[in-house]
Amino acid sequence: MKRGPGGLYAAPSVVWLTVFFIAPLLIIVLYSFMTPGARGGVELKPTLDAYRAIANPVFARVTFNTILVALGSTMITLLIALPCGYYMARSSKQTLLLLLVIIPFWTNFLIRIYAWIAILGNEGFLNDLLRALGLAQDSIRFLYNRWAVMLVLVYTYLPYAILPLFSTIDKFDFSLLEAARDLGATKLGAINKVLLPNIRGGILTAFLFTFIPIFGAYAVPLLVGGTESYMLGNLIADELTKSRNWPLASAISLVITLVTTIGVMLLLRANGTNVLGGGGGKEESEGKAGKLDALAGAAVVGTAAVVGAAAPAGGGR
Amino acid sequence: MIGSDVVIENVNKSFGDFKALDDVSIGIKKGEFFSLLGPSGCGKTTLLRIIAGFEEPQDGLVLLDGANVLPLPPDGRKVNTVFQNYALFPHLSVFENVAFSLRLKKRPESEVRERVGEYLKLVELSSHAQKKPAQLSGGQKQRVAIARALINEPSVLLLDEPLSALDAKLRQHMLIELDAIHDKIGITFIYVTHDQQEALSVSDRIAVMNAGKVLQVGTPQEIYESPATDFVAKFIGETNLFEGVIRSVRGEMTEIESPEFGTILITDVDPPPAGTRVSWTVRPEKIRIELDRPQRARDGLNVFQGVVDEPIYSGFQTKFYVKTPKATLKVIKQHADWSDEGPEIAWKEEVWLSFSAEDAFLVEVKR
């Protein structure tokens, strides 16, 4: 890392991170070791009860379900985002397509979920259409199951996957694909052997930007999911608001943070790529600084996602 | 490896309204070092990409050893390309870049090692096998690209301005290496360049292209000494190109009425009849420049007087722009032998220019 007067200029961001990131995290750590208060909050009596409660099989089942939904939706998202990013990078109408990807952000996230309810509901647009076309007599129940949750999650996080993929593919030298074809690779072979390895950084970024927030999802399973699609975010929220067991909610949050952070670190180490930089196929020197940056990045992404997911739960009711 | 002959027949290619190739026909012989030479946008790269299979012409044929290859995809043609920007795979080592096509064919590891070793030796990169392309110099990348294309044992190697990214000195060196590789393996090379010097120095034959058309196909000597059109004359080397009307023809000796110089004597094996408007040329190095009037000893010597406008000294030669009453002539004096030099010719000096009729040529008949 560089040494010099730069440290002083970093002061504002250090203060910002301390007040809004490290301090809340420390509070969560402290809460997880306390006794639950009668009406929420905590009593200042240290105990390991919260961590003992995690051993409950309900927690394992919800965790398993969360991993299933998160991995499934992330994979589907990436499979859709890759061709989209590829097409955008090759298109002459890049600005327009970028705008189309970004426009959904202009509408509030919750409103967009309710829009899906309006489309998929029993009296919703899709059922009306099917009935009008004579394809169905009774309403088909599209909502309140795992598939509805995954559909809306994929819809929500698709732009987060498309954007990093687009920016990496845009930097990709397409004459490499011609070179591969020239050397005897088929169209698919050229993509497999040359495009994918060179945009690995972008794929990894897209994976993290999708998987981590979906892992901490709360609102989507709450609004369009059923009992089977109950996720860790919902568990934390219920512990906070219904069971009023703040220490348990904190402990679950911390376990998720720890697991995602370690997972991300392993992924980064295996790839040796600077995720947040995208890495357009250019080899970067892997110094100690680079690794530390990656570690810090991973920790920030991981924790922010989970804290972010828990925040609306704490403040919402 | 055995080279193929390549025949391009009436190929047309347009991009929207832009006609990139206009009824192009060229025959390239087995094992030839053939250059496509022309300014940027003349269609030479498009033609190369059609041969490689990256573009499809609207009509025409591309025959390799008599068989039309247009229906085949790029991976189905016995043709390999050295790309302008090398297009080395950045995620693979030098070794794996060269091994790429063998790996695709799932050749056994022992064969891959042996063949890659052989080709890395050919391009003198054996000690760099484990490096990534980013760690190589421009010339080394170039050589990896050549080895990678050759290991597939193509019958035709396409080279798309392969030296344009290198500096002048390295370019000379790589040019000699390319020529040596061509001599060693004997396959057909099709070499695209906008640099006439490159094309002249290595090619067996050259096709000069402009605006989607082939203007002339010939050996470097033919193209330099007897350009078929004004464009070729101007594009290849430096030249003096003027127009005039043929006044009389006596055997091969032709008299041209030139608005700039009065009467000019040139030779041509098959001159058009008197009264035809033509363009004619004389290369700058064919003009003698002297302080004293040359004796009109020989028949067919063209002599004029002029004033040196601008001498440009470049070591082995000096280029003069000499103003005659109605035009400026480029003259190059080679500094071959100091004993033959005579007194130095300076700026603003009055000089005598002369060239023999054998050194001037008819280029185009004008209508």
Span A77-109, pLDDT tens digits: 999 999 999 999 999 999 999 999 999 889 999
Of B73, B83, B104, the CB nearest to A179: B83
Which residues of chain B have a CB within 8 Å of the CB of A198? 89-91
| ipTM of this predicted structure | 0.80
Window from A4-8, A226-230, B24-28, B234-238 with minimum mean pLDDT: A4-8
Q: Which residues pair with B321 in a beta bridge?
A: B310, B330
Give the residue numbers in A contacting B (CB under 8 Å), as ranges.
173, 175-176, 178-186, 189, 193-194, 197-198, 200, 281-283
Question: B259 CB near a chain A CB, below 8 Å?
Answer: no
Q: How far is Cα A28 from Cα A83, in angstroms, rounded to an integer?
A: 41
Q: How far is B352 from chain A (nearest CA, A)?
A: 55
Mutate to test the interface with B, among A176, A178, A182, A188 (most CBs of B within 10 A): A182
Q: Which residues of A touch B73 (CB under 8 A)?
A: 181, 186
Which residues of chain A have a CB within 8 Å of the CB of B88?
A: 179
Largest CA distance in chain B: 76
Residues 6+ apart with CB under 8 A from A201: A168, A271, A273, A274, A275, A277, A278, A279, A280
Residue A56 lies inside a defined structural domain of this protein: yes
Backbone angles phi, psi at B299, to 5 degrees: -75, 140
Q: What is the mean pLDDT of residues B243-249?
A: 90
| Closest residue by Cα to residue B242 from B305, B307, B303, B326 | B326
Q: Which of A121, A91, A278, A311 is nearest to A201 (CA)?
A: A278
Q: Is B53 part of the contact surface with chain A (CB cutoff 8 Å)?
A: yes
Judge: A181–B85 Cβ closer than 8 Å, yes or no: no
CA-to-CA distance for B173 and B279, rounded, in angstroms?
A: 37
Q: Which residues on neighbouring strands pair with residue B330, listed in sequence order? A: B321
Does some domain include residue A38?
Answer: yes
Kindly write down the DSSP assignment for every residue of A213-269, as one continuous string. HHHT--HHHHHH--GGG--HHHHHHHHHHTS--HHHHHHHHHHHHHHHHHHHHHHHH
Q: What is the Cα–Cα distance from B244 to B68, expressed in whole angstroms? A: 46
- Architecture of the domain spanning B6-234: 3-Layer(aba) Sandwich (3.40)
Interface touch A183/B148, C-beta < 8 Å = yes
State the DSSP code for A19: I
From A74's Cα to the closest Cα of chain B, the distance in A is 25
The DSSP H or E segment spanning B6 is strand B6-15
Report CB contact under 8 Å: A178, B87.
yes
Residue with tokens 């597939």: B152
Contact (CB<8Å) A197/B152: no
Closest-CA residue of chain B to A178? B54
Give the residue numbers spanning the domain of A157. 29-316
pLDDT at position B345 is 79
- Residues 6 or more apart whose CB falls under 8 angstroms from that of B131 comprise B93, B94
And the tokens for B294?
A: 């040359």
Spatial contact of B24 and B214, defined as CB atoms under 8 Å apart: yes
- Where do the domains of chain B lie? 6-234, 238-366
The tens digit of pLDDT for each residue in B192-224 reads: 999 988 999 899 999 999 999 999 999 999 999
Count the residues in chain A: 317
pLDDT score, position A307: 46
Number of residues that make up chain B: 367
Is the confidence at residue A115, as pLDDT, over 60?
A: yes
Residues of A in contact with B104 (CB under 8 A): 183-185, 189, 193
pLDDT over 60 at A280, yes or no: no
Dist. CA B223–CA B218, nearest whole Å: 6
Residue-level pLDDT at A284: 41
Nearest CA in chain A to B100: A183
- State both tokens at A159: 């732009």
Strand order in the sheet with B18-28: B18-28, B6-15, B59-64, B67-68
CATH 2.40.50.100 is held by the domain B238-366: yes
Neighbours of B109 (CB within 10 A): 10
Is B66 in a helix, a strand, or coil?
coil
DSSP lists the bridge partners of residue B159 as: B82, B191
CATH number of the domain where residue A85 is located: 1.10.3720.10
Alpha helices in chain B (DSSP H): 44-52, 94-104, 109-122, 138-150, 168-185, 196-202, 220-225, 230-235
* Residues in chain B within 8 Å Cβ distance of A182: 52-53, 74-75, 79-81, 149
Neighboring chain A residues of B115 at a CB cutoff of 8 Å? none
Residue A16 belongs to a domain: no
Instruction: Please state whether beta strands B59-64 and B205-210 pair in parallel, antiparallel, or not at all (unpaired).
Output: unpaired
Which of B100, B130, B161 is most worth mutating to test chain A (most A CB atoms within 10 A of its CB)?
A: B100
Q: What is the pLDDT of residue A297?
A: 53
Counting residues of chain A whose pLDDT is more than 90, the rounded percentage is 52
Structurally, chain A folds into a number of domains equal to: 1
For residue B100, which residues of chain A lie inside 8 Å, CB to CB?
180, 183, 185, 193
CB contact at 8 A, A38 and A246: no
- What local confidence, expressed as pLDDT, does residue B296 receive? 67
Instruction: Point out the residue among B90, B132, B152 whose CB comes nearest to the CB of A198.
Output: B90
Q: Which two tokens stand for residue B291?
A: 């302080």
Least confident of A157-171, A208-222, B1-15: B1-15
A307-317 tens-digit pLDDT: 444 444 433 33
Residue A294 is assigned to a structural domain of this protein:
yes
